[in-house]
Structure 1
Amino acid sequence: MIGSLASTPDRIAQMLADVDNGFARRRPSPEEWCVVEVVVHLSDVEPRYRARLKRIASEDTPQVPAIWPRPMSDPLPLLPEALASFRDERAKTVAFLSALVPEAWERPAHHATLGATTMRKQMQGLVAHDEDHLNQIVQTMELVGS
C-alpha cells in the first residue's frame, strides 16, 4: 500500500504532463471540479489524513473524524504548484508510514461515520481515495477535451 501511495503524485504528473493551465482549469460542468481543483483537494486532504493516521498510531482506539472537502481557495494555484504541494504532503505521509512497526497496521480506531476501523483499513481507504480521484482526472480531461 505504501508503494501505491508513493506513486500517486508521479502517476498524476504523467497524466498531466501535456496539460496546460487553461485546460486544467476547465470544468466539465459548473458543479464539478476542474483538474487543478482535484489536485488541490488531494493536497488539502493529505495533512488531515496524516494527522488521523498519527492519532491511530499513538492513541488507544481514538475517535477519528470524517474528512470532508473544503471550499476551494480563490485564486487557484497553477497546476505545477498544486502538484508540487501534493507531492510534498504525500512524501510526508509516506515517510510516516514507512517508519511504522508492522504491528501498527492493526491498531484500532473508531471512525465518525464508518465505525470500527484499523490503520490498515484507513490506508486502504486512502489508496481507494487516490484511485477515485485519478479516475476523476481522466474523466474530467475527457469531458473538457471534447
Structure 2
Amino acid sequence: LDAKPIPGTWSTRQVVCHVADFEPIYADRMKRVIAEDEPTFFGGDPDVFAARLAYEQRNVDDEVQLVESVRGQMVSILRTLAPNGFRRTGNHLEHGPLSLETLLSRITGHIPHHVNFIKAKREKLGI
C-alpha cells in the first residue's frame, strides 16, 4: 500500500486518502448548489492535503468506508431532484461557474481516474 514504484507519484494509500478527502468536498459543493443560490466554492491543493493530513498513517478500510457513506448519502439526495435541478450552478473561485451536473460528472470520474494510477503502480510492482 505504501510503495511508490513510479517516482513523483503517490502510494496506493495516499491515493485512497486523497479520494476520501475530496469525496466530502464534492458532496458539500453539490449540497450547496442544491440548497443555495449560486454558492461560491474554494479550491484545495491535493498535494498540500497529502503532506499535512497524515496520509501515511491513515487506515485504508476507514477511508473506503467514508467514500461509500458519502456516496450513499448523495445518491439519496440526488434521486429526489427533478432533471432541471442538475442545471443549478455554483461558482468555483478557480474554475468559474460549475453546474450540479458537471460536479457530479467530475466526482463520479474521480475514482476511475485514480484506479488507473493504482493499476500502473501494481504493474510496476509486478502484482
Q: TM-score, normalised by structure 1?
A: 0.72
The aligned amino acid for 2:40 is Q
CA 1:124 to 1:25, structure 2 compared with 1: closer, same or farther past 3 Å? same
Cα distance change, pair 82–117 in 1 and its aligned pair in 2 (3 A): closer
Q: Which residue of 2 aligns with 1:90?
A: 71
1:46–1:89 CA contact under 8 A, matched in 2: yes
Residue 52 (structure 1) aligns with: 29
Structure 1 CA distance, aligned partners of 2:77 and 2:7? 37
**Aligned-residue offset at 1:121:** 1.1
- Alignment-derived partner of residue 13 in structure 2: 36
Q: Cα–Cα, structure 1 residues 63 and 29, in superposed 2: closer, same or farther, change >3 Å?
A: same
Tell me: CA distance 1:91–1:121, structure 2 relative to 1, closer, same or farther (3 Å). Answer: same
Q: Does 1:117 align with 2:98?
A: yes
Whether 2:80 is the aligned partner of 1:99: answer yes
Distance 1:74 1:115, change over 3 A: closer
Partner residue, 2:109: 128
How many Å separate the matches in 2 of 1:106 and 1:76? 39
Give the conservation status (yes or no) of the 8 Å contact 1:39–1:86.
no
Mean CA deviation greater in 46-55 or 72-81:
72-81
- 1:80 counterpart residue number: 61
**Structure 2 unaligned spans of 5+:** none
Gaps of 5+ in 1: 1-23
Question: Quick check: 1:36–1:82 contact (8 Å CA) kept in 2?
Answer: no
Q: 1:100 to 1:34 in 2, by over 3 A?
A: same
How many residues are aligned here?
123
Identity %: 25
Letter in structure 1 aligned against 2:21:
D
Spell out, residue by residue over 1:66-117, the C-alpha distance to the aligned partner (whole angstroms, 9 max, x if none): 2332124155233333322322222222222223232210002222122122
Distance 2:61 2:115 in 1: 16
